[in-house]
Amino acid sequence: MDLDNPVLRLCQDGMRAEAEGRPGEARALFLEAWERRGDDYEGCVAAHYMARVQEDPREFLRWNREALRHADAVGDERVAAFYPSLHVGVAMACERLDDPDGARAAFARAAVHVGALPAGEYGDQLRTAVADGQRRLG
């Protein structure tokens, strides 16, 4: 993450606040990042983090779709590793909203993008989430 970018720095600070058990502060930092976004890349990142702090599955779905919209507009490799997470987020929201067809479709889209995930714990967690979701929903 390019911490010279003020929007990305806000997201990093929000992640730290989230990890330290300050969800209200995290949400405020992610919202500030969203409000300060200057392009689609920053919009993708900020919306991705806004999705993380949503309790309402409809809002969780809306923010993940917003992040996907911005990722599609970026159209380059900077957002490639975001796609699996964003599609898993859509799938999880669809499951919570009792939309198994939407969830299946989103897990299938996530599976197409898992090759862009980095090696390591983060990538492994997402690959497992995709495989588990596809197994669970048939």
Is residue 1 scored above 70 in pLDDT? Answer: no
Contact 84, 131 (CB under 8 A): no
For the stretch 46-63, pLDDT in tens is 999 999 999 999 999 999
Joined together, the tokens standing for residue 133 give 């979701």
Contacts of 74 (CB under 8 A, 6+ apart): 40, 41, 44
Mean pLDDT score, 73-97: 94
Domain residue spans of the chain: 1-56, 80-138
Is residue 2 scored above 90 in pLDDT? Answer: no
For the stretch 94-112, pLDDT in tens is 999 999 999 999 999 999 9
Instruction: Report the predicted TM-score, pTM, of the whole model to 2 decimal places.
Output: 0.90
pLDDT grade for 75, boundaries at 50, 70 and 90: confident
For the stretch 125-136, pLDDT in tens is 999 999 999 999
